[in-house]
Amino acid sequence: MLDDSGRGAAPGNESRAAAFFDLDKTLMMGSSGVFFARAAFESGMISRSRLVRDVYENVRFRLLGSTDERADDVRKRVGEMIAGVRVRDLERLSPRVLAGVLPRLYPEMLERAYAHQDAGVPVYILTAASQEMADLLARVLAFDGGLGSRSEIVDGRYTGRPAGPFNYREGKVVSMRELADREGLELAASYAYSDSESDLPMLRAVRHAVVVNPDAALRRIAAEEGWEVIELDRLGRRLKVLAALGAGTVAASLGRLALDRGLAPREPRGRTGSRAPRPRGTASRAAASRPGPRRPAGRTRPGRRR
């Protein structure tokens, strides 16, 4: 059972609660969108340059988190991409998308979700990704449902226009409240898991907020609020370690180069500006080790007779 911190509670007290899990960087490493983009590229729906851009955005998202501007940009690009596409054609990308997403799920977060279910608390994916993605993963993971961003469909094809609130910032709370009204759930007794400051409305809408792989802004707020923090994504830390190692290697190389080229610090000078005198009878190592002139190889000249 889960308590007030999200780890256990007395049975019978959570009968109307639910647990909401963000998808990207919370249930899984990185963004699910990059695997959708890869599947779309392989099927000829998008260009290689578009795929490269989406891969770059995935790495940036893992390191820095999301922003409102980038979220809106992603939504517009996806709408343009699917406009006129048959629903069936998009559904056929599912096996390829799952092949990328499933190996990147965090086992620790699945354990959390299943612990909620075992305690009688229904579990839902709550994501800005498509409703189709949310439904697909909810079925595969045996969750109780998924809440995603819905797109308009006319005559079996996507129009590229939204068919409901964008599941981002306050949009997620709208979806949560709609579900709570339908299922008789109580958000004030529920749980929410997310990685981003943009999900503050979602986290503040429930009683138990847990942050996972938080961005800098959410980490600061979590410390102020006393929320539980779960760290699972090691990419940022690995890059910092590599950067530190790289900086150390560069510094060492520059030091060796300086010594090899005679750029080492000079000996201290006296008050008059002249070099400090050497002790008598002492020669520098450089002078002692300097080789003398060599005679050319070959026949040696005989010495003179007296």
Q: How far is CA 34 from CA 19, 79, 279, in A?
A: 26, 15, 70
Q: Compute how many other C-beta atoms are within 10 angstroms of the C-beta atom of residue 126.
A: 27
User: Looking at the annotation, which residues are catalytic?
Assistant: 22, 24
Which residues have a Cβ under 8 Å from the Cβ of 149 and sit 6 or more positions away? 75, 127, 128, 129, 130, 131, 162, 164, 165, 166, 167, 168, 171
Contact partners, residue 268, CB within 8 Å, separation at least 6:
276
Tokens of residue 225, six digits: 């609020």
Amino acid at 70: R
**Phi, psi values for residue 237, rounded to 5°:** -65, -40
Torsions phi, psi for 210 (to 5 deg):
-130, 130
Alpha helical stretches, state H, 28-168: 33-42, 48-64, 68-82, 87-91, 94-101, 107-118, 131-140
CA-CA-CA-CA torsion sign (99, 74, 150, 105) = positive
List the one residue out of 213, 135, 209, 144 whose CA is nearest residue 173: 209
Q: How far is CA 194 from CA 62, 145, 246, 259, in A?
A: 13, 17, 32, 52
